[in-house]
């Protein structure tokens, strides 16, 4: 059978993102829970945080943008050599970081830093030519690249706090993107799914709340730049959590429970106000149950939204019906279970921290294994309707 891996932008990036999620978390869990050494010379926490953001998350975002930009602008889709180059850059960076003791640090940084400019160069032309409303996403890509640059400079200077701070800002920028893009697709896909049932009238999207949510997430980011871990940052998080929760309440989540491809989008976005609320509690009170608020935002919001978008987009862009396979639904439930264990397991289960890490990692790994079981053949195979892409 003909391999169609580089026939459209989502294919290689979604496959690589799934493989990254499948491999990175077990390696981290083995290191934390059983002391298995990582191959990288980087401090383990920095390796884990960087690779989950700039390995897994950014790879999936690249697949989304390479697929969405042609749809947004009416331009021809990306295929062939540019996708091969991007994939090689991404894979080379992962290999060099995983074996960083064997490479000059500057060379490793240069290879890792080459990915986002290469992605931006591909999507900038159609966005700028069409004066598309999504063109500001190029600024987000630039700021993400800047956070990665600061991370590598901090790593070279052996300044671990600055490196972690840079990654926190990178996470905030991704949450801004979820607020903008997720805030469009969740109500739009929900209304489309409920319209045949006559229930779409219950879905609304307030422009004022949208503007407030985006501005609020920008304020969270600015707060984390200048006053991280402060009471002011906690107050900002609390206010934005309320705005995000109010926005989410307009989208009719409970009406989608019979449609997995839709309710998983809601589940992902729900973790955003929950994570911000936990952040506020942690910074303002120090309550133990809120200690892992960052994982509510990374695993809960970012990872779950990535899986939700990948599973839906891969079906739609390969000519398949928009219906979740039972194995895909199982992967959703396993992933949400992993988030719950990682965020609340230590406080609720009262077991040793390594066991929480191991349990969450087991659920996460099973989720992405099932994702790949269903979607690797889809991503590697031509469209079922015979169309290009």
Mean pLDDT of the chain: 95
In a domain, 159, yes or no: yes
pLDDT over 70, % of the chain? 99
Q: Please report whether residue 325 resides in a domain.
A: yes
> What is the pLDDT at residue 140?
96
pLDDT grade, residue 37 (50/70/90)?
confident
The pLDDT value given to residue 295: 98
Query: How sure is the predictor about 371, in pLDDT bands with cuts at 50, 70 and 90?
Result: very high
Inter-CA distances, 29 with 43, 171, 295, 339, 357, Å: 15, 21, 15, 14, 6
Inside any domain, residue 2: no
CATH code, domain carrying 133? 1.20.210.10
**Which SS3 state, helix, strand or coil, does residue 301 take?**
helix
- Measured between alpha carbons, how far is 122 from 215 in angstroms, rounded to an integer? 28
Alpha-carbon distance of 353 to 23, in angstroms, equals: 21
Q: Give pLDDT tens digits for 58-91.
A: 999 999 999 999 999 988 889 999 999 999 999 9
Domains held by the chain: number: 1
Identify whether 82 is part of a domain: yes
Separation of alpha carbons 21 and 376, rounded Å:
14
Looking at residue 127, its pLDDT comes to 94
Q: Is residue 288 part of a domain?
A: yes
Q: Is the residue at 92 inside a domain?
A: yes
Give the C-alpha separation, 29 to 210, whole Å. Answer: 38
pLDDT at 146: 98
Instruction: Find the domain containing 60 and state its range.
Output: 10-380
Q: Interior CA angle at 77 toward 72 and 79, to 5°?
A: 150
Q: Report the C-alpha gap between 372 and 188 in whole angstroms.
A: 27
pLDDT band for position 38 (cuts 50, 70, 90): confident
Task: For residue 68, give the nearest of 272, 253, 312 by alpha carbon.
Answer: 312
141 found inside a domain: yes
Angle at 21 between CA 17 and CA 27, to 5 degrees: 140
Who contacts 382 (Cβ-Cβ below 8 Å, separation ≥6)?
Answer: 1, 2, 4, 7
How crowded is residue 279: how many other Cβ atoms within 10 Å of its Cβ? Answer: 25
CA 104, CA 96: separation in Å to the nearest integer? 10
Domain assignment of residue 1, yes or no? no
């Amino acid at each position: 059978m003909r391999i169609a891996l580089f026939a459209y932008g989502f294919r290689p990036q979604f496959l690589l993102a799934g493989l990254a999620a499948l491999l990175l978390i077990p390696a981290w869990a083995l290191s934390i829970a059983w002391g298995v050494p990582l191959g990288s010379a980087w401090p383990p926490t920095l390796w884990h945080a960087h690779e989950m953001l700039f390995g897994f998350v950014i790879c999936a975002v690249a697949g989304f943008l390479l697929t969405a930009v042609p749809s947004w602008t009416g331009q021809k889709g990306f295929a062939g050599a540019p996708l091969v180059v991007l994939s090689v850059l991404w894979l080379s960076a992962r290999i060099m970081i995983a074996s960083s003791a064997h490479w000059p640090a500057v060379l490793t940084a240069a290879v890792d830093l080459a990915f986002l400019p290469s992605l931006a160069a591909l999507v900038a032309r159609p966005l700028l030519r069409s004066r598309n409303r999504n063109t500001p996403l190029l600024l987000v890509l630039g700021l993400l690249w800047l956070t990665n640059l600061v991370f590598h400079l901090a790593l070279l200077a052996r300044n671990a706090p600055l490196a972690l701070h840079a990654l926190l800002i990178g996470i905030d920028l991704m949450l801004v993107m979820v607020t903008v893009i997720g805030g469009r697709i969740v109500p739009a896909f929900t209304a489309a799914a409920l319209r045949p049932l006559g229930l779409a009238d219950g879905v609304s999207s307030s422009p004022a709340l949208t503007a407030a949510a985006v501005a609020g997430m920008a304020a969270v980011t600015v707060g984390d730049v200048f006053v991280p871990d402060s009471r002011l940052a906690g107050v900002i998080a609390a206010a934005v959590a309320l705005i995000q929760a109010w926005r989410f309440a307009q989208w009719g989540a409970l009406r989608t429970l019979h449609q997995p491809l839709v309710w998983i989008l809601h589940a992902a976005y729900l973790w955003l106000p929950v994570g911000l609320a936990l952040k506020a509690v942690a910074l303002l009170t120090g309550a133990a149950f809120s200690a892992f608020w960052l994982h509510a935002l990374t695993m809960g919001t970012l990872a779950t939204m990535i899986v939700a978008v990948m599973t839906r987009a891969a079906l739609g862009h390969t000519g398949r019906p928009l219906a979740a396979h039972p194995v895909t639904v199982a992967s959703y439930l396993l992933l949400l279970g992993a988030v719950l264990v990682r965020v609340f397991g230590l406080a609720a289960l009262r077991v040793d921290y390594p066991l929480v890490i191991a349990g969450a990692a087991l659920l996460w790994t099973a989720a992405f294994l099932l994702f790949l079981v269903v979607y690797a053949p889809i991503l590697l195979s031509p469209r079922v309707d015979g169309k290009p892409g």
